[in-house]
Every structure is written in C-alpha cells, then in structure tokens.
A = this chain, B = another copy of it.
Amino acid sequence: MYGPQFADILGRVRAKRPLIHHITNYVTVNDCANITLCAGGAPVMADAREEVADMVAVAGALVLNIGTLNTALIESMLVAGAAANAHHIPIILDPVGAGATRYRTENAHRLLDELDIAILKGNAGEVGVLAGAQGIVRGVDSEGLTGDPIGIARQYAESEGFTVVISGETDIVTDGRRTFLVENGDPMMGLVSGTGCMASSVVGAFAAVSDDPVIAAAGALAAFGLAGENAAARCGRPGAFKTALFDELAALGLMELDEHARIKEA
C-alpha cells in the first residue's frame, strides 16, 4: 500500500538527479559512486575540510560513513554536517563498525551529538551500541543486540528525533511514530563487500528528493533489496551478482517497485 509513494520518489531521483555528497571510506567508495548513479543520482566524493562546506551546499543529501575513519575525516564530516544542517540538507549517517572499537563508537557518538542527523542507518550491533542496548559488533559485522530490535529502534528514534534504520534480513525503519519493516533483499548481498554502504547511498538519493525520511529510507531499501533479488535470480556467485546488483537497480521499473516492494507497517 505504500508502493506508489516509493515509485514516486524513485521517479523524482531519476528526474532531478540530486547530487549526493559522500564523505565515506576508501574500501567501498567506488561502489557507492556507481550505485548512486544506478539509483539516478549524481555522486560526488569530497572530504577536504577546505571544500566540504562549499560542496554540500549544492547537494541534495550528505552521506557520512565511518568505515575507514580518521581524525581529519571526522573533522571534515563535522564541517560538512554543520553546513548541511544550515542548508537543511538531510544527513545520512552510517556508523560502520561502531562498537567494534572505542574510537568508532566515540566518533559515531560525536557526529550524532554535534550534528542534526536525519537518518541513522546501521546493523543491529551498531545501532544497539549507539542506542545503549548492548550491541555486539565484530569488525564491521553485527552479532546482534540485547532486547527487541524494533522497540529499541523506535525508542531511540523517538528520543533523538531522527529516523533509525536497522539493516538486516528484515530492515527496520522508524521515526518513533511510524515503523516499517522492509523484507526485500537476498542473502547474496551479504557475500559482497559494501552492500551496506551502497544501501546508505541509495537512502541518500531517496532522502534528497523527499520530505519524509521514513518513507524515503523504506523505499530506498525496498528498491535496493529488489535489485538484489533480481540479481540473485540470475547470478549465484558473488562477483557476477555484484555486477548484476548495479544493473538491476539501474533497470528497476517504477511499477515493479510498486508491485514488489514488501514493506509492512509494524
């Protein structure tokens, strides 16, 4: 029943081609650039402190990803984030590996404290750690959290005033009032490095053309998950699957998104 809204958003991404400014890790950055293009957006990666405020000022969204954080990068994220906030440009934060090291946890908290984040998107372990729910993270992989993920996400979103996404077999998307469960996706996505980062880029593209972060995030995850399903239907191995993942997102039809998004309200 939410399908048409998602298709509208995807249609707007393709029509408006929003600039998605990324400050992200050097592991999956190329995949983030290409998936942004496949979603219909225009990626730009820029992390020099001297230029990030200028760059984000013309962007439709800012995606911050701490996958290979360092002090200079965090400083640039804070500068870019402040400019994004000043221009009312939504910030998507992917706290990769929060909980795996104290440094990641502290810096994720710092970004959350100093910036007005629109959408926090992590796995159960990462969000659990940041929400104070004893998440467990090993490297960049979740080993779960203590308690009910939906309840924790909802409460955390409500208390912080942002949208929380917990990615997983079923993605949880909530702003505290509305909660959606997105069931699209395929286990093959876990066999490719960077699918989580790519999902954040697609969320950024959707958020850039929507006033409703919950709907934007749910639609983006459904679209990306559908691309994964379609790719898995024709490619059973990770290398070929990854290529197909890009292709299937680029080829995803608006009506197809309407019809095959598996999103329900919790």
Contacts and interface: CB of A to CB of B under 8 A. Distances in A.
A237 interface: yes
Nearest to A49: B70
Protomer copies? 3
A225 B37 CA distance: 20
A28 B69 CA distance: 18
A192 B37 contact: yes
The secondary-structure label for the interface of chain A is mixed
A248 to B, nearest CB: 8
A193 interface: yes
Nearest to A251: B237
A47 interface: yes
B42 A68 contact: no
Nearest to A52: B101
Given A46-B97, A58-B100, A239-B246, 6 more contacts: A21-B139, A26-B29, A30-B30, A30-B194, A33-B193, A34-B238
